[in-house]
Amino acid sequence: MIQLYQPLNFMGMVYREIKQAIIDIEKMFNVLGREAEIKDAPDAKPLVISAGTVRFEDVRFAYEPTRPILKGISFEVPAGKTIAIVGPSGAGKSTISRLLFRLYDVSGGKILIDGQDIRNVMQASLRASIGMVPQDTVLFNDTIRYNIRYGRWDASDAEVEEAARLAQIDHFIRMAPKGYETQVGERGLKLSGGEKQRVAIARTVLKAPPILVLDEATSALDTHTEHEIQGALDRVAKNRTSLVIAHRLSTIVGADEIIVLDQGRIAERGTHAKLLAQGGLYASMWNRQREAEAAREKLAKMADTS
Ligand code: ATP
């Protein structure tokens, strides 16, 4: 009886794991709002990364045919460099990251990675090459270790913990009741936006992709959290082709190029210093954020002393 029971028990475990993996993938896609109509072309080939250069060529896109969102966007992220996209809310910044991940197909123009149109490559190989740190990270109702290992299932415990250290979330995890085995989610430990984003960074460290896309959370973070996240990101972005969708301009001062998007078009582009000197849209966004930060800090100080 026992002889029969063991394999059955094992098969049950495998079945449960597969089922869970399917549920996780479905959850992920639901949250990302992915539409199922994107399919591999019949002759799709695996993406071959030689250097990791990303190019947008006259990209046009609309979610609904009557309302164009991107109206001819061209830029290049050279291999190993960091390009930041900034602009007012609704300008189309996150749409750019969704198109690169091919959650939607462009309506015009093309997106190339090392010269290969992403519509002609296998989606699995495209997504395996891109590390996506989204605005809102999906955490599963499982342990924190499971949530980090999601970046690469065969990672060892030591690798998971090393990734957490690099993402500056290790200390926080060790303070939790059961450390890495603490449950997170609805009935477990609740993580703030900044902590979730660091879990996403740890996942990306494990995945070690040649291309990194960071969609910065919109919410204002306190200066300390922002520094921690920034430090983690700088380490992950080093020597990787990185596209940063930025809401806080302070995080992208060092980018190789900043692209200012306005109503679906590139309004300005250049380094931080050049754009500030230009005195245009970027300069006014920068000044406004500085004023808002100064006001926030003043309020925080007043709260501290009262
Ligand atoms: P924010 O800074 O507020 O995050 P953003 O520049 O990243 O804004 P996007 O998220 O790219 O802006 O959205 C651009 C426009 O597309 C917005 O007007 C938004 O309402 C619209 N949009 C986004 N997602 C969808 C969707 N799934 N269906 C229809 N319209 C959408």
Q: What are 151's two structure tokens? A: 């970046």
Q: What are 135's two structure tokens? A: 């605005």
Ligand 1 centroid to 267 CA: how many Å?
A: 18
- Report the range of poorest mean pLDDT among 27-31, 154-158, 195-199: 27-31
Q: What are 118's two structure tokens? A: 């992403």
Residues 6 or more apart in contact with residue 200 via CB below 8 angstroms:
133, 134, 137
Element (H, E) at 54: strand 54-64
- Report the range of poorest mean pLDDT among 70-84, 258-272, 292-306: 292-306
**Cα angle 236, 79, 54; round to 5:** 100
Question: 85 with 255: CB under 8 angstroms?
Answer: no
Establish whether residue 89 lines the binding site of ligand 1, counting it when its CB lies within 6 angstroms of any ligand atom: yes
Fill in the DSSP letter of residue 45.
Answer: B
- Ligand 1 atom closest to the Cα of residue 96 is 11
pLDDT tens-digit series, residues 21-77? 544 554 555 555 555 578 899 999 999 999 999 999 999 999 998 999 999 999 999
Fill in the DSSP letter of residue 184.
Answer: B
The interface predicted TM-score (ipTM) is 0.97
Ligand 1 centroid to 300 CA: how many Å?
A: 32
Establish whether residue 91 lines the binding site of ligand 1, counting it when its CB lies within 6 angstroms of any ligand atom: yes
Q: What are 154's two structure tokens? A: 């065969």
Question: 15 with 7: CB under 8 angstroms?
Answer: no
Rounded mean pLDDT, 165-169: 88
Q: Which pTM does this prediction carry?
A: 0.81
The closest of 140, 115, 274, 135 to 215, measured between CA atoms, is 135
Give the mean pLDDT of the chain.
85
The closest of 51, 77, 82, 75 to 238, measured between CA atoms, is 82
Band of residue 292 on the pLDDT scale cut at 50, 70, 90: confident
The closest of 261, 208, 209, 205 to 231, measured between CA atoms, is 205
d(CA 76, CA 211) in angstroms, rounded, equals 13
Band of residue 232 on the pLDDT scale cut at 50, 70, 90: confident
Establish whether residue 90 lines the binding site of ligand 1, counting it when its CB lies within 6 angstroms of any ligand atom: yes
Establish whether residue 93 lines the binding site of ligand 1, counting it when its CB lies within 6 angstroms of any ligand atom: yes
The answer to whether the Cα torsion of 17, 23, 29, 35 is positive or negative is positive
